[in-house]
Structure 1
């Protein structure tokens, strides 16, 4: 099936047939009426072309398209915020295998995530909507199970974006506390030891700030993302140069940095290395979240896929620039494992003074807050898109776009409230952060795998003429992406240490099962009868 290219001056006919109602996003029948979009000539008016394409996919354009290719790439970079993401989870590779786990594990996972990003980018170039992977799953799946596939994928994606945003903000609170914790009193004890409720209040403040900035500063967010990438590399250079130049306690030799393996997890060496990959998996889990911004991008069919793939290479470089210098000045590993946050202690050990060490942590703290803003924005778009198709209870409220702010404010507030309520788990167990990050990665990984698997097992026929086409590399990329998904999902359910205690148990499976049970109940109670999936109509060729 060849999709013709429309001349740039041609007006798109309204393609809504088969009972599609643009006011509620539902269709009148569940017959197989899939269509492929008519690709616009992007040499014409960018916004008009993208909006025509969105209309051909069944949706009315409601959000302003204010992001260029570079700005999309910068936001994708901000969603990962690699130095921050690796800093808050460095415990896992240090515990799992030491320098080998940190450096080579990061490099290995980055190579695999390129396949995930390329696979998702190829599909997104065909179906560039804010619904992202859930919309794609519906369009790619055969009619017999497309509604169920999109429902499952949609809930996984929504739960994943919300909980990973929660994990980012909670991780920022813990990292901030860890940075303050390097200050000591005259007795050599930490000058500040926060209580559980103080940490929760810091998380609460960060969550509210991220939502306020995302809601009130929407038009300036592309500028913030642009600033963030320069801020990141300036901070990385400052950290790397300073700790390597000062190195109060000396430097490790290159052989130790790149070959030393030291496990403290209690697992066998092979599995310990695997568990140590959790930091890389967490840091790259946001790969597909940028698809939820497709309706705010000028040329989504080409810009978003290119940004997704290019960002992986930028992230890989940034990660190595951060990790390798840290490994060269790494003190004894075992004492670091008893600290809430190892990175501030590593930097303090290298520079030999608390004040400069805290100053070097400031770029990571600022980047963490910007990352929280980006994740908040993406999570709100995902929630809004899923509600737009009637899959979330109270959809009529959550699908509304604020007329002045030009964004889905109600969906953003829903996401924020869910995060604040889930954050209360912290009072029951300090392993809550692991649960938040774990269930976020599990849900997002499963949601990314769904459209990739459907596309692969249906012969990749829908992406044959994709604007971002992988060609012969497509099958290999799809298989690698699914292989990583099959490994990552059980990996993030594992405790990081043996023997397992109440404080070290991984609660991610429990949170994941709870979210799955809620979605299953809602499907049986309402969705099975009423949920029709995204709008669909006959193809226009």
Structure 2
């Protein structure tokens, strides 16, 4: 907490320090602040309230945890497996990952220029013409926050499923998970994430710093163990390289096979998502204009390359895809956990499944941290209902405690849909990546169209335009696949309801805009100084 600042703030007092955006004037002694806080106050118009604890290792670890490649593959492997078999798993990751990297690099460039915990929501206010700022920021903010809410709910559901898969393996499959059991365990998982996020930034940073080391160690050791133990004498011979890279096995029911093959893009797009999550903790790190984009770009590059190599390992050792004992007919409905059990035995299967759970839970901790900072950022500008509540900082820990527990309750509420219909809850999970990616593309498109962008110290130089355009084109293409049912014939059981939720998000945000936003919401604060001066100040640091 900066010296002289109150420990508890509300919407009006946390928004603007300078004469901007109609909120009035708050006189502060900028000399008492750190340089990063001074830039936040004078250039971006926000009162600093968070302690800047995150260093390079913790920030990089945070970015890697959002992808959580080891556990994310475990929870999404089934989609490319059904869509096109081994070839779809390998090549779709490579192709789709390139598009995701372009989006990650584009977001990194924007975060370097505008490092606030509002992320792309704040960024778009600097890139769109002034008369469009309130509406464009409103849409971007709602897409981003609802995408994050769906993402946290989906990850907690996945954590519950992995926990129950480990229990099932431990019981020699005499116990099989049910949806009701998954919902119950999920509730406990969400509460654990809420408790962790109730800690101060100091302790969260210490936990986050250790994550990436553990993640890499488990990823490498698991790959080595699988390759070493998959032997004919163990009943799990390895596939040939020709099979791994060329075998197409369409189990989806879609024709032609080339169309079904593209459903393999879903796994990497779900894993490499949440690019701006690191931006949402930028007010908790020193030199955020350098650390945040550095962590996003390198974190996603690690996820891209490590995920591709790990998928290849799984394809070598996964055994039969079709038939009575195939991993697709696994009684625990977790193909990767079944691979661990088949190749490594009961003890190894339990160990690496539990490790996957631990890694996913670490990712859930950071995802909820990103979500709560987003709630805080949107509330201090008055975008959310009851905004004055969600910006209140707990004096003991220095974090927006009510935003944390609001996230917990909403994530639980979303997952309770699973009690009535699993396809319905799966649609909520699918909309996560679509809503988030669209919230990234809106500011990127504004950058391309309006030419108001002044780069920060981390930028793409002469390649910027090409990377930005490709990122948007790829996102629009892959979003079509996101809303399609992955299995045919389409029934109420396997229907993809993502498009229903996406439309519902847009309708809700538009109705709330007409009722409240159009009259009261003015968008993020715009500083009195020119944009070029703000960017110049950042580049001098």
**TM-score relative to the length of structure 1:** 0.89
Equivalent residue, structure 1, for 2:342: 349
Shift of 1:103: 1.7
Task: Establish whether residue 230 from structure 1 lines up as the match of residue 216 from structure 2.
Answer: no
Secondary structure of 1:462's aligned partner: coil
Superposition map of 1:509-528 within 5 A? 509-528=499-518
Equivalent residue, structure 2, for 1:49: 35
Question: Does the CA-based 8 Å contact 1:438-1:492 persist in structure 2?
Answer: yes
Task: Establish whether residue 441 from structure 1 lines up as the match of residue 433 from structure 2.
Answer: yes
Question: Does the CA-based 8 Å contact 1:26-1:535 persist in structure 2?
Answer: no
Query: Aligned residues, how many?
Result: 503
Equivalent residue, structure 1, for 2:458: 468
Question: Does the CA-based 8 Å contact 1:137-1:149 persist in structure 2?
Answer: yes
Shift of 1:22: 4.8
Equivalent residue, structure 2, for 1:404: 396
Equivalent residue, structure 1, for 2:289: 301
Superposition map of 1:63-78 within 5 A? 63-78=50-65
Q: Distance in 2 between matches of 1:218 and 1:21?
A: 24
Secondary structure of 2:251's aligned partner: coil
CA distance 1:30–1:270, change in 2 (3 Å): farther
CA distance 1:157–1:405, change in 2 (3 Å): same
Task: Choose 396-405 or 473-482, whichever is displaced more.
Answer: 396-405
Superposition map of 1:248-267 within 5 A? 248=234, 249-267=236-254
Q: Distance in 1 between matches of 2:206 and 2:85?
A: 38
**TM-score relative to the length of structure 2:** 0.89
Structure having the higher helix fraction is 2
Q: Distance in 2 between matches of 1:528 and 1:68?
A: 40
Q: What's the C-alpha RMSD, in Å, of the aligned pairs?
A: 2.2
After superposition, what is the alpha-carbon deviation per residue over 1:62-103, rounded to whole angstroms, capped at 9, x for unaligned?
A: 001101122211100011101111110100010111111112
CA distance 1:201–1:496, change in 2 (3 Å): same
Q: Which runs of 5+ in 2 are unaligned?
A: 1-10, 23-29, 534-541
Equivalent residue, structure 2, for 1:175: 162
* Aligned counterpart for 2:305 among listed residues 314, 317, 322: 317
* Aligned counterpart for 1:326 among listed residues 270, 289, 314: 314
Secondary structure of 1:333's aligned partner: coil
Q: Distance in 1 between matches of 2:450 and 2:264?
A: 35
* Aligned counterpart for 1:453 among listed residues 414, 422, 445: 445
Q: Distance in 2 between matches of 1:367 and 1:326?
A: 18
Task: Establish whether residue 418 from structure 1 lines up as the match of residue 410 from structure 2.
Answer: yes
Equivalent residue, structure 1, for 2:327: 336
Q: Distance in 2 between matches of 1:149 and 1:270?
A: 37
Shift of 1:479: 0.8
Shift of 1:356: 2.1
Shift of 1:467: 1.3
Task: Establish whether residue 200 from structure 1 lines up as the match of residue 222 from structure 2.
Answer: no
Shift of 1:433: 4.5
Q: Which runs of 5+ in 1 are unaligned?
A: 1-19, 32-39
Equivalent residue, structure 2, for 1:393: 385
Secondary structure of 1:324's aligned partner: helix
Q: Distance in 2 between matches of 1:27 and 1:263?
A: 60
Shift of 1:222: 2.1
